[in-house]
Amino acid sequence: MKNKQWLLAARPQGEPTRDNWQYTETELAEPGAGEVQVKVEYISLDPAMRGWMNDSKSYIEPVQIGEVMRAGAVGEVIKSNDDNFSAGDKVYGNFGVQSYAVCSTKGIHKVDPSLAPLERYLGVLGMPGMTAYFGLLKTGLPKAGETVVVSGAAGAVGSVVGQVAKIKGCRVVGIAGGQEKCKYLTEQLGFDAVIDYKNEDVKKALRSACPQGVDVYFDNVGGEILDAVLTAINLHARIVICGAISQYNNTTAVKGPSNYLSLLVNRARMEGIVVFDNAPHYGEAAQEMAGWIAQGKLKAKEHVVAGLETFPDTLMMLFKGENFGKLVMQVEHG
Amino acid sequence: MKNKQWLLAARPQGEPTRDNWQYTETELAEPGAGEVQVKVEYISLDPAMRGWMNDSKSYIEPVQIGEVMRAGAVGEVIKSNDDNFSAGDKVYGNFGVQSYAVCSTKGIHKVDPSLAPLERYLGVLGMPGMTAYFGLLKTGLPKAGETVVVSGAAGAVGSVVGQVAKIKGCRVVGIAGGQEKCKYLTEQLGFDAVIDYKNEDVKKALRSACPQGVDVYFDNVGGEILDAVLTAINLHARIVICGAISQYNNTTAVKGPSNYLSLLVNRARMEGIVVFDNAPHYGEAAQEMAGWIAQGKLKAKEHVVAGLETFPDTLMMLFKGENFGKLVMQVEHG
């Protein structure tokens, strides 16, 4: 049996291209003691992957040249040398961009395919959902009646941020690209207002969408949109820095927020988050979110692209704003 | 009797020039009911004045064209129509850049010239001292053993920030311009290390001055120095945004911090402060600071320039980094 893999071949300057990747097929290894062999079924594609391709200090080690690209994924245990896992178990782990993984059972956990489709464990029931939940509630600290703005609102994290803010009684304004996404946010997810950054002046649109100003801003994009929101924040506003997808492929310096002195004028705060810090509390969060899903208050949407071979192009959908919902790659096992 | 006044004549583009100001002499008015007439003795010159000259929304109304320039000041009551104030009392208030003020007694308070020279009530015992005290302790939240970095370290606010951080058991690193200031900070104020931004590469110098990284950064200057410190912060660092004097005279957009994503990597926070929010607690702070002064733990330095007529040039000393200690203008009453 062959294992199909995507390796990091070279570090990108700006946008990743096909040349940054190497496709390879290797003999599938047997699991050692305490290890499992997993057939990977769905692979999570996330903006953070762009950062892991750089050779620079961050919250996690860079992927090394020649290594299988890091990725969270779900799959099925084929062989197990750990009594806690059996063949047929569905599991989540950092399996990487490959069709099979052989790895230690440390850091993998079972998921229940009878509760939700497997790919959902990469979205609302996985890291993006946790990121939204803890970032909004622990760092954004929204209060009922406040106005919460979220960018990347139709994405994996943003769509959950907005829905959780609605559950908490906030006015929710989403920023997304294109009419289809905007319509989805108001009509399907109950957002109070949306701003189509591809077709509207965000600064002006914020004024009408947020007549009471902005109390919490959950930022996934950075750049001009962050600067626009800074002109609309209220006293004691909280800005959650979750990501800056507009800046990840820059070949020049990241655009810093020119309007950051609005933090001073408004005694406001800007704070960065990394989801892993909340690992001890994932269980409670998953339980609460599952309850909301069961009650129909929290909806999930995945954007599934079939075929491991599509990886270099599928990843780029994130940076072009082409995914609509959580971007997931499905591995086809013939 | 004539009242000598500096009025705002025009709003500046970039650096204020002589043309932004109008000097005038008017008849001195008599105080009305509930008012006092004050002979102004020392006038506080502060970076914030640059912001008040702009016609833009901030934490306080802009000064209008044709108005006496706003300024905190201390002086002596000459005539009083308020039983709580008598001729001869020394008082602090927003008396403006003029030799006499006639104003309501709301918002003015007595100061005790037997405890400290009058000009000190514009520095460590006044707004800059309060800004440092509350900004560092309430927002910076320094813990003993942590590293605190402060820019504008030889200025009115910065010098107090550093000394209070020392009192709290922190390693304190000051960033200031020129050898004389740097020497003063280590030899007179007990700073652990200093960085001379005019003669050193700040980013490199931070690495040796802060071997354990930066836990609290108190920023008075913004621009390149803020960006340099962002490369050196620790997990859960707190950045206090007090001002950005390097940016106040920009004719182009403020330089936003390109390295702000370090907040994400380090789960760190950047927060703005305005001293007035702490007004209910000024009394307690003043008492604690007076104790530190009495014990020799907190030293004050004022830079006094004589002559109301020097105002346009004296103000510019702030933006050129020419003041050494709290910049104060002394009004000479012939």
| Helix intervals (H) in chain A | 48-52, 127-134, 156-167, 179-187, 202-209, 223-230, 262-265, 282-294, 311-319
In this complex, the residue of A258, A259, A267 whose CB is nearest that of residue B274 is A267
- Whether A294 maps to a domain, the answer reads no
What is the pLDDT at residue B283?
Answer: 86
- Whether B287 maps to a domain, the answer reads no
Q: What is the mean pLDDT of residues B282-304?
A: 92
**Mean pLDDT score of chain A:** 96
What is the pLDDT at residue B2?
Answer: 92
Q: How far does A262 lie from chain B, in Å, by closest CA? A: 8
Q: What is the mean pLDDT of residues A12-32?
A: 96
How many domains does chain A contain in total? 2
Question: Is residue A236 less than 8 Å (CB to CB) from chain B?
Answer: no
Say if residue A20 is in the same domain as residue A86.
Answer: yes
Say if residue B308 is in the same domain as residue B181.
Answer: no
**Mean pLDDT score of chain B:** 96
**Chain B residues closer than 8 Å to A263 by CB:** 241, 270-272
Question: Is residue A249 less than 8 Å (CB to CB) from chain B?
Answer: no
**Chain B residues closer than 8 Å to A260 by CB:** 241, 254, 256-257, 260, 270
A255/B257 touch (CB, cutoff 8 Å), yes or no = no
Say if residue B147 is in the same domain as residue B272.
Answer: yes
Question: Is residue A253 less than 8 Å (CB to CB) from chain B?
Answer: yes
Say if residue B109 is in the same domain as residue B156.
Answer: no
Question: Is residue B222 less than 8 Å (CB to CB) from chain A?
Answer: yes
Q: Which two tokens stand for residue B152?
A: 């504008």
What is the pLDDT at residue B56?
Answer: 86
A222/B263 touch (CB, cutoff 8 Å), yes or no = no
Query: Which of B300-314 are b and which e, b meaning 16 or more Cβ less than 10 Å from the residue's Cβ?
Result: bbbbebeebeebbeb
The whole-angstrom distance between residue A14's C-alpha and the CA centroid of its chain comes to: 20
Residue A328 has pLDDT above 90, yes or no: yes
Closest A-chain CA to B58: A265
Say if residue B239 is in the same domain as residue B131.
Answer: yes
A243-278 pLDDT, tens digit each: 999 999 998 889 999 999 999 999 999 999 999 999
- Of B261, B270, B163, the C-alpha closest to B216 is B270
Strand extents, DSSP E, B9-61: 21-27, 35-44
B25-72 pLDDT, tens digit each: 999 999 999 999 999 999 999 999 999 999 987 889 999 999 999 999
Cβ neighbours, 10 Å, residue A102:
18
Beta-strand pair A100-104/A35-44: antiparallel
CATH classification of the domain holding A76: 3.90.180.10
- Whether A137 maps to a domain, the answer reads yes
Q: Which two tokens stand for residue B111?
A: 């100061």
Q: Give the C-alpha separation, B62 to B70, whole Å.
A: 9
Helix (H, G, I), strand (E, B) or coil at B210: coil
Q: How far does B186 lie from chain A, in Å, by closest CA? A: 29
Q: How far does B254 lie from chain A, in Å, by closest CA? A: 5
Question: Is residue B266 less than 8 Å (CB to CB) from chain A?
Answer: yes
Looking at this predicted complex, what is its ipTM?
0.92
Q: Give the C-alpha separation, A195 to A178, whole Å.
A: 9
Q: Give the C-alpha separation, B297 to B319, whole Å.
A: 29
- Give the single-character DSSP code of B67: S
Residue A57 has pLDDT above 80, yes or no: no
Question: Is residue B236 less than 8 Å (CB to CB) from chain A?
Answer: no
- Whether A247 maps to a domain, the answer reads yes
Q: Are B176 and B159 in contact (CB under 8 A)?
A: no
Q: How far does A205 lie from chain B, in Å, by closest CA? A: 19
In this complex, the residue of A227, A263, A273 whose CB is nearest that of residue B264 is A273
If you search the block for the tokens 């790895």, which residue do you land on? A103
- Residues in a beta bridge with A77: A38
Q: What is the mean pLDDT of residues A41-68?
A: 94
- Whether A293 maps to a domain, the answer reads no
Say if residue A10 is in the same domain as residue A112.
Answer: yes
- Whether A134 maps to a domain, the answer reads yes
Q: How far apart are the first and last CA of chain B?
A: 12
Question: Is residue B299 less than 8 Å (CB to CB) from chain A?
Answer: no
What is the pLDDT at residue B177?
Answer: 96
To test the contact with chain A by mutation, choose from B54, B229, B254, B270 the residue with the greatest count of A C-beta atoms within 10 A, namely B270
A259/B257 touch (CB, cutoff 8 Å), yes or no = no
Say if residue A116 is in the same domain as residue A34.
Answer: yes
Q: How far apart are the first and last CA of chain A?
A: 12
What is the pLDDT at residue B115?
Answer: 86
- Whether B292 maps to a domain, the answer reads no
If you search the block for the tokens 């104060």, which residue do you land on? B328
**Chain A residues closer than 8 Å to B258 by CB:** 253-256
Structural domain for B32, as ranges: 2-123+300-330
Say if residue B20 is in the same domain as residue B89.
Answer: yes
A149-186 pLDDT, tens digit each: 999 999 999 999 999 999 999 999 999 999 999 999 99
Closest B-chain CA to A221: B261
Q: Where residue A45 falls among pLDDT bands split at 50, 70, 90? A: very high
- Residues in a beta bridge with B25: B4
Say if residue A111 is in the same domain as residue A134.
Answer: no
CATH classification of the domain holding A236: 3.40.50.720
B90-100 pLDDT, tens digit each: 999 999 999 99
A265/B274 touch (CB, cutoff 8 Å), yes or no = yes
A257/B253 touch (CB, cutoff 8 Å), yes or no = no
B128-160 pLDDT, tens digit each: 999 999 999 999 999 999 999 999 999 999 999
Q: Where residue B295 falls among pLDDT bands split at 50, 70, 90? A: very high
Q: Which two tokens stand for residue B301?
A: 């330095």
In this complex, the residue of A58, A241, A254 whose CB is nearest that of residue B258 is A254
What is the pLDDT at residue A56?
Answer: 86
To test the contact with chain A by mutation, choose from B52, B226, B230, B241 the residue with the greatest count of A C-beta atoms within 10 A, namely B241
What is the pLDDT at residue A318?
Answer: 94
Say if residue A254 is in the same domain as residue A156.
Answer: yes
A93-118 pLDDT, tens digit each: 999 999 999 999 998 999 999 888 99
Residue A334 has pLDDT above 90, yes or no: no
- Whether B172 maps to a domain, the answer reads yes
Q: Which residues touch B149 (CB under 8 Å, ≥6 apart)? A: B172, B173, B174, B175, B206, B209, B210, B214, B216, B217, B218, B229, B232
To test the contact with chain A by mutation, choose from B52, B138, B261, B263 the residue with the greatest count of A C-beta atoms within 10 A, namely B261
**Chain A residues closer than 8 Å to B266 by CB:** 59, 272
A271/B266 touch (CB, cutoff 8 Å), yes or no = no
Question: Is residue A29 less than 8 Å (CB to CB) from chain B?
Answer: no
A258/B261 touch (CB, cutoff 8 Å), yes or no = no
- Percent of chain B surpassing pLDDT 90: 93
Q: Give the C-alpha separation, A112 to B125, whole Å.
A: 64
Residue type, B236: H
Boundary of a domain, candidates A261, A276, A291 = A276
Question: Is residue B267 less than 8 Å (CB to CB) from chain A?
Answer: yes
Strand extents, DSSP E, A97-219: 100-104, 109-110, 147-151, 171-176, 193-196, 214-219
Q: Are A286 and A125 in contact (CB under 8 A)?
A: yes
A274/B260 touch (CB, cutoff 8 Å), yes or no = no
Task: Name the burial class of residue A62, with classes exposed (0-12), middle (13-18) and buried (19+) by CB atoms within 10 angstroms of its CB.
Answer: middle
Say if residue A272 is in the same domain as residue A133.
Answer: yes
Residue B334 has pLDDT above 80, yes or no: no
Beta-strand pair B21-27/A2-8: unpaired
Residue type, A120: R
Say if residue B101 is in the same domain as residue B179.
Answer: no
